[in-house]
Amino acid sequence: MRLLDHLVSLGLSKGNARKALKTGKVAVRNVPTADAGRDVEPSEVTYNVNAPRLTPGRHVAVVYRDEHLAVVYKPSGMLSVAAPKRGRDENLVSWMAKRFGAAHPVHRIDEPTSGLMMVALNTQTQMALKKLLEKHEVERRYLALVHGKFPNGDLTFDSFLGRDERTGRRCSVDKDAGGRRSRTYARRVARLGRVSLIEAKLETGRTHQVRIHLSEAGFPVLADKLYKGKNDGTMRRLALHAAVLGFKHPATSADMRFDAGLPDDMERFRREIVDSRRKDVR
């Protein structure tokens, strides 16, 4: 059912429901959303009047936290960690450190990419999580809107990523040129006319790995100006989202899995295309 309808069924007026959505009081799978029109499973929706006030999709949201680690939602446009000559720009790890006293990076996602990140709250956990990554024992899945009609079935992209000697841009190179082995598994979730919604699962986690593999296969991510992706309608930011994060908790051995689904802007864009195609059929 529509999220707005569910909130009304809880006793909120439409006006109060929309206000709650805009201020971060409503979450789907623990991730705040302002998208009243998205379809939801009521059991996955949380309405908490005491939740921190924030703007969904624009501000950081802590999805899970204990004494060892946190899983955090990073908005598009925010750095994961501090970057050279970007000292004044806020980054996720520093944001966490200011609020919780300590924070240590484990991995990162690109600045224009949104989604889930692990942050260690002590150095022991940081080392343990990094070992899980090195052994490929962390599940990382991305959702992307890409140009073109992505084929049905599972595809594997396997190459060595490095830099082009002429342009300095990251790309697939010969093994002898110093590239690092990189493997991505991808499948089509939905075909949306000129655009496809795909899921990409990482085996390795090289810089720009998903973006490069998809672009080189002829399916650049929407609004990825670096790798041949163009803006498309209202989708003007990189249409790439770290949706799933799964791992074994290094302190408790509990199986942890978080699924953020599509962020508001990508979900609205998906609906726009679906609605437009329905109108064309009529």
Backbone angles phi, psi at 76, to 5 degrees: -60, 140
For residue 261 the two structure tokens come to 């689904």
Distance CA 36, CA 121 (A): 34
Considering only CA atoms, which of 57, 4, 82 is closest in space to residue 261? Answer: 57
Cα angle value 205/209/211 (rounded, 5°):
145
Question: What DSSP designation does 3 have?
Answer: H
Active site residues: 110
Residue 162 contacts residue 178 (beta carbons within 8 Å):
yes
Q: Token pair 């803006």 is at which residue?
A: 231
Considering only CA atoms, which of 221, 220, 212 is closest in space to residue 157? Answer: 212
Q: Token pair 């074994």 is at which residue?
A: 248
For residue 74 the two structure tokens come to 């990073």
Residue 117 contacts residue 107 (beta carbons within 8 Å):
yes
Distance CA 221, CA 229 (A): 5
For residue 11 the two structure tokens come to 């006793």
Considering only CA atoms, which of 195, 75, 92 is closest in space to residue 144? Answer: 195
